[in-house]
Structure formats: C-alpha cells, structure tokens
Amino acid sequence: MSEFNNKCVIVTGGASGFGKAMSEKFAAAGASVVVADLNIEGAEAVAGSLDQAIAVQIDVADEEQNRNLADAAVDAFGKIDVVCANAGIPHRAGRAIEMDTAEFDRMFAINTRSVFLAAKYCVPHMPAGSAIVTTSSIGAKRPRPGLAAYYAAKGAVLTLTQALAVELAPNIRVNAICPVSAPTGFDQNASGMAELSDKVNAQIIAGIPMGRRATPEDVADATFFLSSNEAKFLTGVCLDIDGGRAIQ
C-alpha cells in the first residue's frame, strides 16, 4: 500500500497546469484529492477523472472561501494530510514602475495571502506528520525583467514558507518549490499570447542548462517528494525545479 492511501490532499489551482499534474500524481498513489480552483468546470473535470476526488470552487485570495475549502475537505475525507498551496497567477509582463497599483496588490493577494489563508484554515485539521508545499518561482530567487510584482509576491511566499516551517514544527512540515518557466497557462497570462514564439522559447531555454523548460510532471514529482516520508526531515526547504537556471 502507498503511504498516501487514506490520506487527504488539497491542491489549489488544481484544474490545470502544475495543479492538475499534482492532483493526478497523488491520486495515482492512492490519495483522496480535493481539486480546488476558481475554474470549477476544470476542477470538476480533473476530479471526475480520478478515483477518489471532489472539486471545490475557490478564489484563493478570499478568506471565507478558504474556510469553506477546509470544511469541504474534512466533510468529505475526515482530515487534511497534505496541502499543495499551488494556485497563483502572473501579471502581464512590463516595467514595474508603469504597473497599475491595484494589479500590484492583486499579485500579493492571489500569490501570497492565499498561502497564509490556506495554512490558517487547514492546519487545525492536519494531524502530526502532515505537510504543506507552497509553489513559489525560481524568479523569486533570480528575477528577470518584466515580472517584478509577481516575483516579489513569490519571494514573500518563500519567507512565509520558512516562517511557517519554524512555527509548525515538528508536527507539520512546510516546504516550497521554485519552478522555472513551463508551458502552462502562465505563458498566456504573462505574454498575452496563446503560445510563445519559437524565438522567445529559445531565449528561455538558452538560460536553462538542462536544455528544456519544466513540465507539470517535473513540478508534481517534486511536490510529491516533499509531501512524502522520504522527505520526513525536510522543512523550510525551497527546492529549485529549474534545470539549473539559478546557477546559470
């Protein structure tokens, strides 16, 4: 039996991209999965493809909806063992000083406050040995021009992750992943294009020693590891899933 049998895993942003791959990875290991997303149709489609899963609609920046998410998980599966605080969104690429202030604030609401709210409402239902994994970005450590507010919000996720790790130890481990660019909906949100041009794609890959961008499965694998007993002595870790971009 997998260690995730009879475990409840919440994945925010679970309808697509990294979150969809995470949901599928945990479900394949026997977990009961709560697929949480603002896109309820997408969440229902993912949950419906898994053996034991429910879909919950959530705006991750909203406090009451986070409370409802935790309650829905407990009502369905009795407890919460893993929280993948994965939901996030970039802004359209551009110079920071030309950015609308409301959009700057929105980056912190969706990308950072969401992690705080997930912990606030899920932790009371998490038994000893549980884990939280947050999704940051390699840009939080090594930013590039154009996404300053997004990277700043993701940098705050790293600090919040480590602070929570100290506060919740030894009962609950809290770690972060820092993915590099991947072909997900992020591209469309940041660039305004359905797909990156071959030129832009080549420029991104040129900065990644492994010679390719990340895949959702790469990110799901790392999240799965940090949630597992194999990582039982890891907390406060910010794991780069970047093919070497941070050392390039």
Residues 155 and 140: their CA atoms lie apart, in Å, by 4
Contact 175, 224 (CB under 8 A): no
**Is 151 tagged catalytic?**
no
Determine which one of 4, 77, 150, 151 is catalytic: 150
- Which two three-digit tokens encode residue 139? 């840009």
Backbone φ, ψ for residue 173 (5° rounding): -90, 145
Query: Closest Cα partner for 107 from 38, 208, 190?
Result: 190
Buried b / exposed e across 185-209, counting CB within 10 Å, b at 16+? bbbeebbeeeebeeeeeeebbeebe
User: Which of the residues are catalytic?
Assistant: 150
